[in-house]
Structure 1
Amino acid sequence: MKKVLKAVLIILLSLTFLVTAFFFGIRVFVLIADKENDKLVEEYENKTIEISDIEKLDNFFTFDDELKTSIKSCKAYFTPTAIIFTSVQCYYGSGKLTVTEDYYNKLLNKYDDLKLMSGFPSRNYLGYFEENIADRADNDFLTFIRNEEYYYSENLSDSEGMLILLSQEKGEIYFFINNF
């Protein structure tokens, strides 16, 4: 009986130790992640980041393989608005992609509802009014949308919250994204 009681006591103490170690490990992880998160928030949150590297651009939004291989250059600006556990959860940004003519022509042929227009698209873009885009987009995007004619299709603007505009200059795509 004493041996059984001793074995049960050892098992209970072992389980208590394991549970305590597990929760202590979680606590340490959260403290470290929180400290790293605070550094990232201080360095990046609500500060605009300029991106001209396609690989870095891939960190902000996903695009299909065909587009990725078609991009010749990019100039984009992103502003993280919420960083949680060292990961950007919310951001907005805009910019210009220069793509191959083949890809550009494929887009022109794929969307039969493309309209040549200038200024801001007539509908409220995903709940955002012209003023909201004007406050958040970079100057190149705003100059383009206000002064140039471009091809626009509601079907081309994607479900991830990206407004996509095709310039009349072959191979130039302008975009605005609000990921929240």
Structure 2
Amino acid sequence: MEIYSSYFTISRRNQKVLNKKMNSKPIKNILTLLLLLISIITFGENIEESDLIGTWKVINLTGDFPPMPSEQHKQIDLLKVAFRESTFEFNADHSFSLKIDFNDFSDMMKNVHWKFNKEKSNVLIQEWKDKESAKSILLEIIIEQRNGKIIFVLPESPFELEVVKS
């Protein structure tokens, strides 16, 4: 019996180390669980296609163009004002309209089609005849969620539009 007891005897020093390791395990488990929850909450905010359906109003616009001649700058300022007052309408039948007070853009965005790519979190706006292809893209919108806000990023411009569903 004494032979076996030596195998089960733990020195005081080893006992302290063992206790320390055992006591830190619950803390590590709690921290791991917290990090997992935070990542699920943060990355679990994927937008579904059905979430897009409806009318979205622009409430804020950010982004600036590089320096340019004053004539072009005036046009960009007019476009900024137009986007600040615009609305994006995604219909269940995949028709799309952009209500914007900028003639060239407004005319181009009538009677068009939208399609959503969940993996890229983007929407492509196209003419109906091109709905089965990836060509003739009139507008691309990348949809992001930041701090509980929905942002429409227009990659062809420096504009980022904060929007709310109305």
| Same fold, TM-score > 0.5, yes or no | no
TM-score between both structures, scaled by the size of structure 1: 0.34
Of structures 1 and 2, the larger Rg is shown by 2
Normalization by structure 2: what TM-score? Answer: 0.36
